[in-house]
Amino acid sequence: MTADSKRIAITGGFGFLGWHTACRLRALHQVEPVRLGREDFADPALLAAKLADVDAVIHIAGVNRADSDAAVEQGNIDLATTLSAALREIARPVDVVFANSIQAQLDNPYGRGKAEAARIVKEAAVELGGHFADLLLPNLFGEHGRPGYNSFVATFAHEVAAGRTPSVTGDREIELLHAQDAAAALIEALGSDVCEVVPAEAIAISEVLRFFLETHELYATRGEVPDISTPMRRNLFNTYRAAAFPDMWPVSPQVHGDNRGDLYETVRAHGGTGMAFMSTTLPGQKRGEHYHLHKVERFFVVKGEAEIELRRLLHDDVVSFRLSGDKPSFVDMPALWVHNIRNVGDSELITMFWADQLLDMDNPDQFPETIAQEATA
């Protein structure tokens, strides 16, 4: 059974990885998962009721910080115990994918808690006739991670975006995996009995910081796109852009004017693919109403009056910008944000669009959704 035909619940569905997983299910599988949070685990009857009709559970909820090591270990065990009791309450086969940690292989409080949690949930799932997949995830990073909590990458991104320079102590290589890649692995494992470490990419802590500092120098001060020719660099760039949004925008380039007219740059990119295209939009008309999982996209208003609206996927708050061709400027669309542009003037709107991906009609990384559409998951 594929994800497209399953009714899926996500524990920890409002956290960092839970949000990324829900976004991916929505984009690629047209699935609106049941997202479970702390209040659901605080009420066993409520948890069982919300799981009553699901075919599969992606168990992401966990405890990685607490007042004591013992609380970290026991917290993960308690979550697994509560979930297992709810599964037994509904008393039918439910497939479970567990977002475990590579630390489950280590003898530390967090690792022991995750290992025991895997054992507890597997026992319940198998007992009821369901499949159990155990995926050991490395260090995760990505858009909208919490600084000081989810990973050092989130902390570095927010610090650098704010104009500060964090320091590195104990530099070493870390296995990193983008949250969308982790979500893809969890979804792919639905209905299977795999137990495996999800592959990641090793990168030095200092290299991550260096990328952010170089990006900030190019992007925040001049609007130039750094070298994003590899998936890791693109994913780090998108992580930085999420940390900088919305305060950095709109950006206005230096305009060189003389008696012939005006001259200004629209895009300067330092590595990777890219394509540019132009559009005209009549008064009152709108373009966009979609989002991307990874694509970097720039809206540059050349002539006319425009309003750009953006909404983070599965959220309701809308951010808007007014741009005018009288002061040429642009806004870059963050990944996983629904966006549109509307002509709010009385004359034709001319917009230049730039994207880092060459258009592939078979895999456009573009998913329709309106700004007005409320989060339903």
pLDDT digits (tens, 9 = 90+) for 342-368: 999 999 999 999 999 999 999 999 999
Using the 8-state DSSP alphabet, how is residue 217 labeled? Answer: I
DSSP 83-134: HHHHHHHHTS--EEEEEEEGGGGSSSHHHHHHHHHHHHHHHHHHHTT--EEE
pLDDT score, position 334: 98
Report pLDDT digits (tens) over 307-329: 999 999 999 999 999 999 999 99
pLDDT at 377 over 70: no
Can you give the residue ranges of every domain in the chain?
A: 3-208, 256-368
Average of pLDDT values for 193-211?
A: 98
pLDDT score, position 118: 98
Q: Which CATH superfamily is domain 256-368 in?
A: Jelly Rolls (2.60.120.10)
Q: Are 206 and 171 in contact (CB under 8 A)?
A: yes
pLDDT score, position 374: 63
Using the 8-state DSSP alphabet, how is residue 148 labeled? Answer: T
Question: What average pLDDT is seen over the chain?
Answer: 96
Put the strands of the sheet holding 329-333 in their side by side order.
275-281, 349-355, 297-303, 329-333
Cα–Cα distance, 38 to 27 (Å, whole number): 25
Those residues with Cβ within 8 angstroms of residue 171's Cβ, 6 or more apart along the chain or in another chain:
204, 205, 206
Tokens of 113: 């808690």
Cα–Cα distance, 207 to 213 (Å, whole number): 10
Q: Please, which pLDDT band fits residue 375 given cuts at 50, 70 and 90?
A: very low
Q: What predicted TM-score, i.e. pTM, was given to this entire model?
A: 0.96
pLDDT at 1 over 60: no
Tokens of 265: 């740059």
Q: Encode burial over 69-90: b for 16+ CB neighbours within 10 A, e otherwise.
A: eeebbbbbbbbbbbbbebbeee
Report pLDDT digits (tens) over 35-56: 999 999 999 999 999 999 999 9
Please give the single-letter amino acid code of residue 155: T
| Long-range pairs, 158-163, Cβ under 8 A, ≥24 | 158/243, 160/209, 160/212, 160/213, 160/215, 160/216, 160/240, 160/243, 161/216, 161/220, 161/240, 161/243, 161/244, 161/248, 163/216, 163/220
Average of pLDDT values for 97-104?
A: 98
Q: Please, which pLDDT band fits residue 3 given cuts at 50, 70 and 90?
A: confident
Is residue 146 classed as helix, strand or coil in its secondary structure? Answer: coil
**Percent of the chain, pLDDT > 90?**
95
Q: Which CATH number fits domain 3-208: 3.40.50.720, 3.40.50.300, 3.20.20.120, 3.40.228.10?
A: 3.40.50.720
Report pLDDT digits (tens) over 129-166: 999 999 999 999 999 999 999 899 999 999 999 999 99
Report pLDDT digits (tens) over 275-307: 999 999 999 999 999 999 999 999 999 999 999
The enclosing H or E element of 19 equals: helix 16-29
